[in-house]
A and B are shown apart, each in its own frame.
Chain A
Amino acid sequence: MPERLANGLKDRRTEIGLTQAELAERVGVTRKTVNTVENGVFTPSATLAIKLAQALGISVEQLFWIER
């Protein structure tokens, strides 16, 4: 079975009350990028993953994990 990078971006974002646009503004990307990462369509670079984790106040490992 192929590996997939799953994430808890949407759960964490809604938990702290941020919209996609607000999160996008914080990490310096457009809303579509946040949207595609949330949906698992786009795999972010390490740099963006760290920025997203920092903006959401959790570690990268808590935000992203590999699903088998």
Chain B
Amino acid sequence: MNGRSVSERADFLSRRRARILPALAIIYLTQQASYITIRSGPAHRAVDEVKISAWLVLSAVLLTAIATNGFWFQPREVRSMIDDELTRANRNDAMRLGFIFAMLTCIVVYFITMFEPVNGRDAVHIVMSDGLGAALIRWGWLERFAHRDA
């Protein structure tokens, strides 16, 4: 393992994740601009569907990463150490906040439908993006905070 102990490797990967998470959240949320542009445009092209599918794939990957801690290609002992007690607590906190954000977004979307129709696909997109985006930002913040002064 490049001369590093399991603990050092886990610490290195954990720090890297703490740096990457906010960037991932920004990339994920800026993708919404592309979706809004496509949906508000005059006609859909095949390339637009590919862009929307890319969002769906990214959403699935990020959701799986939050739910399982990621690092699927690392050895079991490294994965186990990265997903230690604090990381699990941070992930749970992030998922809790993501759920609350998703539910609040549902309330807002429901309210909007009283005045303007919102199709199912758009509603799912907004709810999923808000929930997942909030969870990612929260997880990234907690991880960075935990690494501070470490």
A: residues with CB less than 8 A from B are: 20-21, 24-25, 28-36, 39, 41-42, 44-45, 48
| Interface residue from B11, B89, B145, B149 paired with A30 (Cβ < 8 Å) | B11
Please determine whether A39 and B85 come into contact, CB atoms closer than 8 angstroms: no
B: residues with CB less than 8 A from A are: 5-8, 10-11, 14, 81-82, 84-87, 89, 143, 145-147, 149-150
Q: Given A20-B150, A25-B5, check contact A31 B11 (CB 8 Å).
A: yes
Chain B residues with CB under 8 Å of A42's CB are: 85-86, 89, 146
Which applies to chain B's interface (DSSP): helix, strand, loop or mixed? helix
Bound Cα distance A48, B145 (Å): 20
Please determine whether B7 and A25 come into contact, CB atoms closer than 8 angstroms: yes
Please determine whether B7 and A31 come into contact, CB atoms closer than 8 angstroms: yes
Query: What are 8 A-B residue pairs whose CB atoms fall within 8 Å in the complex?
Result: A29-B85, A30-B10, A30-B82, A31-B11, A32-B11, A32-B143, A34-B150, A35-B147
Bound Cα distance A24, B146 (Å): 14
Q: Given A39-B149, A41-B146, A42-B89, check contact A33 B7 (CB 8 Å).
A: no
| Interface residue from B7, B89, B145, B147 paired with A24 (Cβ < 8 Å) | B7
